Amino acid sequence: FSETFSIQGGIEYERGQTSDVLGQIDYTLVGLPVSLTYDSTDNALNPTEGIRLIASVTPYPEFLGSSVPITIARGTVSAYYALDEEARYVLAWRIGLGSIVGADLDEIPANRRFFAGGGGSVRGYTYRTLGPTFLGEPIGGRSLLEASLEARIKVTDTIGIVPFVDA
């Protein structure tokens, strides 16, 4: 719709098999993904000001052929604020939410469950290792809440430090 606001949608088909400590799931998913993006940041890769909001919902209804009738919703909002004119000091924060409704956890394919951990989530933890566990193994969950706060500090034009806290 504009440089800052867009909507997209489509049709998705996936047939597969996942296996974890909860068991094996053979599944077919036929979904209708819809996403909304609002991005007023000044730079796509290294923003120093603005807000970015990404929200998506994908229903996988039985009447389209899905063997696991679920709906997956996810949203992330982040904001950036330069403390000085040269943007050598930038505060950034991010909150992410997610939810899966329509099936019990052990019926949801493992690759569709929510996990946290890794660079785009909770830094300092291995990718997809945070979440509910069963028999000592992460199994993922039906809900997700992530948060991050950081200060981006330029030491030189090519070197910076970023103290942060993630949850």
- Over residues 120-128, the mean pLDDT reads 90
Q: What percent of the chain has pLDDT over 70?
A: 100
Provide the pLDDT for residue 58.
98
State how far the Cα of 124 lies from the Cα of 147, in Å rounded to an integer: 14
The pLDDT tens digits of the residues spanning 140-152 come to: 999 999 999 999 9
- Over residues 26-41, the mean pLDDT reads 98
3-state per-residue secondary structure call for 34-103: EEEEEECCCCCCCCCCEEEEEEEEEEECHHHCCCCCEEEEEEEEEEEEECCCCCCEEEEEEEEEEEEECC
Q: Hunting for tokens 């394919």 — which residue is that? A: 109
pLDDT tier at 120 (50, 70, 90 boundaries)?
confident
State how far the Cα of 162 lies from the Cα of 39, in Å rounded to an integer: 23
- Over residues 148-159, the mean pLDDT reads 96
Q: Hunting for tokens 């103290």 — which residue is that? A: 163
- Over residues 93-106, the mean pLDDT reads 96
Handedness of CA 101, 167, 47, 91 (dihedral sign): positive
Q: Hunting for tokens 């981006």 — which residue is that? A: 152
The pLDDT tens digits of the residues spanning 52-86 come to: 999 999 999 999 999 999 999 999 999 999 999 99
Question: Is residue 119 predicted with pLDDT exceeding 90?
Answer: no
Question: Is residue 98 predicted with pLDDT exceeding 90?
Answer: yes
Question: Is residue 15 predicted with pLDDT exceeding 90?
Answer: yes
pLDDT tier at 37 (50, 70, 90 boundaries)?
very high
State how far the Cα of 71 lies from the Cα of 99, in Å rounded to an integer: 8
